[in-house]
Structures are given as structure tokens and as C-alpha cells.
Amino acid sequence: MFPQMDKSNASDLSPSHPVRVWMEEHDTLLGFLDRLEAIAAEAGKSPAGLEPNGPVRQALVKLASDLLDAEPHHQREEQALFPRMEEVGIEGPPHMMRLDHDELRLAKRALKDHVSTDAAADEAFVERLCQVADFIVPVLRSHIQKENQILYPMALQAIGADGWRAIQVDCERIGPCSFTKAK
Ligand SMILES: [Fe+2]
Ligand SMILES: [Fe+2]
């Protein structure tokens, strides 16, 4: 079995270690997903506040932007981490994570486009909202769980200190997300 990583392991890493930063960003993303799930569930019961410029619609636009703002997180994984895993022969898991990223990029963009229009909050609007949310929420939650519990522990075992220093340099070049906590 793959080694498991929990918060106690993660907290053994220095605050600026790329894995620690990624896991903290995951916590923030999970909070966004909880809110998206709650708003979609509520929208299925009542369209109150979902009209263009309504408070719930505005919250959805912000939420969709926040989810898209995870792009530097995914870029750091794709450009800094995955190539070093592939160099040491770990090819399958990074490949699967890249496929998730590609699917999630499309779905997050679809969410942003959907909620940013002037479309009335009618049945079709709510149905599409729920359809996109029903994809993003479980797929991103599962992606985060796979990275936290499988991919990062594998990388920590397989990559040495020099490799992690190089990863950190690449991560700093790519930069934080709008929601990354300052160190
Ligand atoms: Fe990822
Ligand atoms: Fe991630």
C-alpha cells in the first residue's frame, strides 16, 4: 500500500515546503467546494438571490473566480513536481493528475461562464448550475484526497533534498494563488 499522510506528517515539513503549501491550499479549495455544494443544493430548492446581480449569483461569480485562481497551484504541480516524479520512474500517478487538472479546468471555466452571464435564474439556469457543480465538487475533492494521501507521500519518499530545493525554486518562480497564505 501507499504510505498515508495526515496533518501530523504535513506539519513536520517546513512552512515553505512545497507539499505543505499545496496541502494548505487544498484546505482552502475544500472550503470553496463546501460552499459551492451548499449553494447548488439551495438553488435546487429556491432561486432566491440567484437573479443576475443577486447576492447568491455574486457569491457564485466570486466562488468560480476563486476556483479558477487555483491555476498557479496546478501549474506548480505540473511544472515543478510531476517532471521530477517522472524522472525517477513514477509516471502513472502524475499522468492521472494531469488528466484531472485538464477536466477540472474546463469545468471551472464552464461554471464561471455560466454564472457570469445575464441569464435569468430560471429552471434551465439552475439545472446547468447543479450539473457543473455536481461534477466539480466530487472530482476536485477526490483529486485532492489522491494527492494528499498518495501522490505527495510517494513524491516525499522518492525525491531527495536537492530535488525538493529545485522544486521549491520552480514553485517560487510560478508564484502563489490569490488565496495562498503568506509565509
Ligand atoms: Fe493537482
Ligand atoms: Fe493539488
15 CA to middle of ligand 2, Å? 16
Residue 166: which domain range? 7-174
2 within domain boundaries: no
101 CA to middle of ligand 1, Å? 6
51 CA to middle of ligand 2, Å? 33
Confidence of residue 1 (pLDDT cuts 50, 70, 90): very low
124 CA to middle of ligand 2, Å? 32
Q: In this model, does residue 122 exceed pLDDT 60?
A: yes
- Tens digits of residue pLDDT in 55-109: 999 999 999 999 999 999 999 999 999 999 999 999 999 999 999 999 999 999 9
173 vs 10: which has the higher pLDDT? 173
pLDDT of residue 137: 98
41 CA to middle of ligand 1, Å? 26
* SS3 annotation, the chain: CCCCCCHHHHCCCCCCCHHHHHHHHHHHHHHHHHHHHHHHHHHHHCCCCCCCCCHHHHHHHHHHHHHHCCHHHHHHHHHHHHHHHHHCCCCHHHHHHHHHHHHHHHHHHHHHHHHHCCCCCCHHHHHHHHHHHHHHHHHHHHHHHHHHHHHHHHHHHHCCHHHHHHHHHHHHHHCCCCCCCCC
180 within domain boundaries: no
Q: In this model, does residue 7 exceed pLDDT 80?
A: no
183 within domain boundaries: no
88 within domain boundaries: yes
User: Which ligand sits closest to the CA of 94?
Assistant: 1
Please state, as a whole number, how many other Cβ atoms lie within 10 Å of the Cβ of residue 61.
16
CATH number for the domain spanning 90: value is 1.20.120.520
CA 130 to chain centre: 19
Confidence of residue 6 (pLDDT cuts 50, 70, 90): low
114 CA to middle of ligand 1, Å? 24
pLDDT of residue 183: 73
153 CA to middle of ligand 2, Å? 13
Counted domains in the chain: 1
179 within domain boundaries: no
1 within domain boundaries: no
User: Which ligand sits closest to the CA of 26?
Assistant: 2
